[in-house]
C-alpha cells in the first residue's frame, strides 16, 4: 500500500501518510488529516501503522465486486455471496433470499458470532497442541513397539535354532550308535578271520616241512590233520555267510520332509499388521454456530420455482450405466455394470481411465473428496468396495452378508438396499451391519438421505418411500400415472427429492413431505432412459446419466 499522502500527491507534494481514512480508503499526512476531519466529520481515521497491520489479513478491496468493480449492496443467503447491482441482475434475479448488506453488518463486531469465532480460534489452537502431544506419545509408542517386535523376532529365531540343534544332535547320536555297532561287528569278524588265517599259515608251513624232511607216514598223518583244519576253516566261513556276518552294512538318513517344506514354502519370517486405530484425543469442541452472522432468511422456495438449466451434454462410449458421481474437480465417474468397469471421464468428457472391477460395479456414493464406495448388485462375493479416485485403486472391500444395490454414505456408515432383507446399514469403522427396515426390494432400488430421513425406491410398488433411521414409515409417494420405474434418487440441501423414471425417460421433483411433485425433464429434453442421478449440494449441479452413450449436467435454478 502506498505510504504517500493522497491529498499532498494531488498538489504535487510528496509527504508520507500518517493516517488512513477507512471510508475514503486514502492515506493522509497530519495536516491533511485535520482538514479532512473538518470536511468529513463522519469518516473514521486510524494510524497508518494500525492500517498496515490490518492490511496483512484483510483485503481492502473486499467492499467491491471483483467482476464488475462495483460496491456490494446485497447478500444472497441461498448462494452465500455478496452481490453488486450488476450481480443481482445477472445471477440473482430469481433468488428470494437476498438481504441488504446493512442488515448483515449491523453490530457485527458486538455479535455473539464474533465472540464465538474468537473462542473457536483458541479451541482449535488448543486442539493442535493436544494433537502434537498425542503424536509425540504415538512416536514413543512406535519406538517401544519396534523394539518389542525386534525382540520377538530374535526370541523366535533363538527358539527355532535351539530346536534344530536338538533334533540334529538326536540324529547324530543315532548315527554314532549305528557306526559304533558296525565297527564292533567288523572288528570281531576280523579277529575270527585272523585266527583262521594264522592256522592256515601254520598248516602250510607244517605241510612244507613234512614234504621236505618227513617220512611217507608222517606226511600222510599231517595231511589228515591239515585236512581237518581246512574243513574247519571252510565250515567257519560258510557259517559266517549263513549268519549274515559278512553282509554289507549300508545306512543313510531321510531328512524330515517338514524341514524341506520350510525351505520351499516359508518365504517370510512373518508379516507386519498395520491397523489404523481411530484417534481418541479429547478435543475441545465448541460447536461453531451454523448461522454465525444472523441473517433473516426468506422461506424455502416451493418446488414450483425450481428449474433445471442445462450446462452441457456429454456423449460417452459406455453401456449399462448404473451409477454416476460428479467429483469436486468437475470430473465424472460412471459405474458400467455390463462392462464391469468404473469409467473416469475428464472435464471435457473424454475417457481418462477405466478401472476393471470384480465383482462388477453397480451403485455408487461419495464418501469424501477423493473416496467413493461401490456396490456389486448381488454379484458374488457380496462386497462394498472403497475406491480412491485420485490413485484409481480399490483401497478396501467390505464383506456383507447380503446383496447391495443402491447405496448412500451417511456419517461414517453406508446405507444400502439389500434386496429381500430391506434397508440395511454397515459401519465403515467396525463393519457391523444392522437392519433399519425389513421389506422386500428389487435390484433396481435406490436410496438417499436428508437429515434424519431415508428415501428409497421400489420398482414393483412403483413408489418412493420415506422412513426414519428407526424404520418408521413417514410417507409413501405412490402415483402410478406419474411414476412408472423409479430408478435413481437425489436430494438437494432443502430436502427436495429428485427422481429418475427410467421407463418414461423423465425426472421428477417431490417436496420433502411427499405431498407435492412436479416434472422437471422429459424425453423432449433429450433424456433417454435415465438410470442414475447425482446432486452436488455445494454447486447446485445435477448430473444425469442415461443407460448408455450420454450424460447431462444441469444447474438448479
Domain presence at residue 266:
no
pTM over 0.85: no
Residue 299, pLDDT above cutoff 80? no
- pLDDT confidence of 44, banded at 50, 70, 90? confident
Clarify whether residues 68 and 52 are in a common domain: no
User: In whole angstroms, what separates CA 322 from the centre of its chain?
Assistant: 22
Domain presence at residue 288:
no
Quickly list DSSP for 369-382: TTEEEE--TTPSS-
Residue 275: the pLDDT is 66
Q: Which position has the higher pLDDT, 249 or 402?
A: 402
Domain presence at residue 422:
yes
**233: nearest Cα among 205, 209, 188, 201:** 201
SS3 readout for 400-411? CCCCCCCEEEEC
Summarised one tens digit per residue, pLDDT across range 422-476 is 999 999 989 999 999 999 998 889 999 998 899 999 988 899 999 999 999 999 9
Which domain covers residue 45, as residue numbers? 1-58
Pairing of strands 497-501, 486-491: antiparallel
Which CA distances in Å does 16 have to 49, 187, 264? 12, 121, 85
- pLDDT confidence of 36, banded at 50, 70, 90? confident
Residue 332, pLDDT above cutoff 50? yes
**540: nearest Cα among 491, 488, 489, 487:** 491
Which residue carries 472391500 as its cell? Answer: 397
Q: How many residues are there in the chain?
A: 557
- Could you tell me if 384 and 367 are in contact, meaning their C-beta atoms sit under 8 angstroms apart? no
Domain presence at residue 263:
no
Domain presence at residue 284:
no
Summarised one tens digit per residue, pLDDT across range 172-214 is 998 898 888 888 888 988 898 898 889 889 889 988 988 888 8
DSSP state of 16: B
Q: For residue 82, what is the enclosing H or E element?
A: strand 81-83
Clarify whether residues 426 and 537 are in a common domain: yes
DSSP state of 298: P
- Could you tell me if 403 and 382 are in contact, meaning their C-beta atoms sit under 8 angstroms apart? yes
Summarised one tens digit per residue, pLDDT across range 495-545 is 999 999 999 999 999 999 999 999 999 999 999 999 999 999 888 999 999
Clarify whether residues 347 and 466 are in a common domain: yes
**494: nearest Cα among 297, 313, 333:** 297
Which CA distances in Å does 254 have to 162, 164, 175, 182, 286? 21, 15, 12, 20, 73
Please name the residues in contact with 114: beta carbons below 8 A apart, sequence gap of 6 or more.
Answer: 108
Residue 294: the pLDDT is 46
Clarify whether residues 49 and 68 are in a common domain: no
Summarised one tens digit per residue, pLDDT across range 120-140 is 888 888 888 888 988 898 899
Cβ burial of 398 (10 Å; 0-12, 13-18, 19+) is: middle
Q: For residue 545, what is the enclosing H or E element?
A: strand 541-546
- Could you tell me if 484 and 522 are in contact, meaning their C-beta atoms sit under 8 angstroms apart? no
- Could you tell me if 365 and 415 are in contact, meaning their C-beta atoms sit under 8 angstroms apart? no
Query: What's the rounded Cα separation, in Å, for the pair 514 and 477?
Result: 6
Pairing of strands 541-546, 530-536: antiparallel
- Could you tell me if 323 and 363 are in contact, meaning their C-beta atoms sit under 8 angstroms apart? yes
Residue 290: the pLDDT is 42
Clarify whether residues 354 and 386 are in a common domain: yes
**460: nearest Cα among 436, 432, 439:** 439
Clarify whether residues 331 and 363 are in a common domain: yes
Query: What's the rounded Cα separation, in Å, for the pair 388 and 395?
Result: 7
Clarify whether residues 492 and 525 are in a common domain: yes
Query: What's the rounded Cα separation, in Å, for the pair 343 and 322?
Result: 12
- 398 pairs with which residues across the strands? 384
Domain presence at residue 5:
yes
Q: How many domains does the chain have?
A: 4
Clarify whether residues 402 and 334 are in a common domain: yes
Query: What's the rounded Cα separation, in Å, for the pair 207 and 91?
Result: 141
Q: Percent of the chain having pLDDT more than 90?
A: 39
Domain presence at residue 295:
no
Cβ burial of 478 (10 Å; 0-12, 13-18, 19+) is: middle
Residue 2: the pLDDT is 56
- 355 pairs with which residues across the strands? 342
Instruction: Supply 75's cell numbers.
Output: 447478500
Clarify whether residues 49 and 152 are in a common domain: no
Domain presence at residue 512:
yes
Residue 35: the pLDDT is 83
Residue 56: the pLDDT is 64
Clarify whether residues 419 and 502 are in a common domain: yes
CB atoms within 10 A of CB 69: 10
Last residue of a domain, which of 245, 261, 285?
A: 245
Pairing of strands 308-315, 332-336: unpaired
Residue 11: the pLDDT is 83
- Could you tell me if 506 and 481 are in contact, meaning their C-beta atoms sit under 8 angstroms apart? no
Residue 149, pLDDT above cutoff 70? yes
Pairing of strands 453-458, 321-326: unpaired
Amino acid at each position: 500500500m502506498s505510504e504517500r499522502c493522497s491529498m499532498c500527491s494531488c498538489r504535487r507534494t510528496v509527504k508520507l501518510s500518517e493516517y488512513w481514512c477507512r471510508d475514503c480508503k486514502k492515506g493522509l499526512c497530519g495536516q491533511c488529516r485535520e482538514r479532512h476531519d473538518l470536511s468529513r466529520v463522519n469518516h473514521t481515521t486510524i494510524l497508518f501503522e494500525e492500517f498496515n497491520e490490518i492490511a496483512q489479513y484483510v483485503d481492502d478491496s473486499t467492499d467491491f465486486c471483483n467482476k464488475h468493480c462495483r460496491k456490494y449492496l446485497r447478500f444472497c443467503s441461498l448462494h452465500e455471496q455478496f452481490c453488486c447491482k450488476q450481480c443481482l441482475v445477472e445471477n440473482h434475479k430469481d433468488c428470494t433470499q437476498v438481504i441488504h448488506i446493512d442488515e448483515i453488518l449491523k453490530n457485527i463486531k458486538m455479535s455473539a458470532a464474533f465472540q464465538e469465532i474468537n473462542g473457536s480460534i483458541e479451541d482449535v489452537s488448543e486442539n493442535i497442541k493436544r494433537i502434537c502431544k498425542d503424536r509425540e506419545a504415538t512416536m514413543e509408542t512406535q519406538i517401544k513397539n519396534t523394539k518389542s517386535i525386534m525382540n520377538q523376532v530374535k526370541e523366535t529365531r533363538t527358539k527355532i535354532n535351539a530346536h534344530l540343534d536338538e533334533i540334529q544332535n538326536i540324529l547324530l547320536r543315532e548315527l554314532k550308535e549305528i557306526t559304533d555297532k558296525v565297527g564292533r561287528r567288523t572288528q570281531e569278524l576280523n579277529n575270527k578271520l585272523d585266527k583262521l588265517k594264522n592256522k592256515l599259515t601254520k598248516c602250510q608251513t607244517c605241510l612244507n616241512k613234512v614234504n621236505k624232511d618227513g617220512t611217507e607216514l608222517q606226511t600222510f598223518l599231517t595231511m589228515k590233520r591239515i585236512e581237518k583244519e581246512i574243513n574247519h576253516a571252510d565250515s567257519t566261513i560258510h557259517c559266517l555267510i549263513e549268519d549274515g556276518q559278512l553282509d554289507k552294512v549300508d545306512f543313510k538318513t531321510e531328512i524330515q520332509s517338514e524341514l524341506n517344506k520350510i525351505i520351499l514354502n516359508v518365504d517370510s519370517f512373518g508379516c507386519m499388521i498395520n491397523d489404523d486405530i481411530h484417534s481418541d484425543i479429547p478435543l475441545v469442541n465448541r460447536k461453531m454456530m451454523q448461522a454465525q452472522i444472523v441473517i433473516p432468511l426468506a422461506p424455502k422456495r416451493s418446488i414450483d420455482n425450481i428449474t433445471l438449466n442445462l450446462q452441457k451434454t456429454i456423449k460417452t462410449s459406455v453401456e449399462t450405466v448404473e451409477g454416476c458421481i460428479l467429483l469436486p474437480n468437475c470430473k465424472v465417474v460412471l459405474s458400467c455394470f455390463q462392462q464391469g468397469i468404473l469409467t473416469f471421464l475428464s472435464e471435457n468428457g473424454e475417457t481418462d481411465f477405466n478401472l476393471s472391477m470384480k465383482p462388477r460395479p453397480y451403485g455408487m456414493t461419495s464418501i469424501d473428496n477423493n473416496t467413493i464406495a461401490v456396490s456389486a448388485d448381488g454379484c458374488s462375493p457380496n462386497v462394498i468396495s472403497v475406491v480412491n479416485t485420485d490413485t484409481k485403486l480399490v483401497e478396501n472391500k467390505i464383506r456383507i452378508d447380503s446383496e447391495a444395490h443402491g447405496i448412500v454414505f451417511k456419517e461414517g456408515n453406508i446405507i444400502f438396499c439389500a434386496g429381500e432383507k430391506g434397508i440395511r446399514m454397515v459401519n465403515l469403522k467396525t463393519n457391523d451391519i444392522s437392519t433399519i427396515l425389513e421389506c422386500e426390494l428389487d435390484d433396481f432400488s435406490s436410496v438417499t438421505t436428508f437429515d434424519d430421513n431415508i428415501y428409497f425406491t421400489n420398482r414393483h410398488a412403483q413408489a418412493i418411500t420415506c422412513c426414519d433411521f428407526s424404520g418408521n414409515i413417514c410417507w409413501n409417494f405412490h402415483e402410478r400415472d406419474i411414476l412408472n420405474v423409479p430408478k435413481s434418487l437425489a436430494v438437494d440441501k432443502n430436502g427436495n427429492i429428485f427422481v429418475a423414471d427410467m421407463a418414461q425417460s423423465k425426472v421428477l421433483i417431490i417436496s420433502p413431505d411427499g405431498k407435492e411433485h412436479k416434472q422437471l425433464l422429459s424425453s423432449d429434453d433429450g433424456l433417454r432412459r435415465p438410470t442414475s442421478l447425482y446432486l452436488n449440494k455445494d454447486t447446485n449441479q445435477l448430473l444425469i446419466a442415461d443407460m448408455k452413450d450420454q450424460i447431462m449436467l444441469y444447474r438448479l435454478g
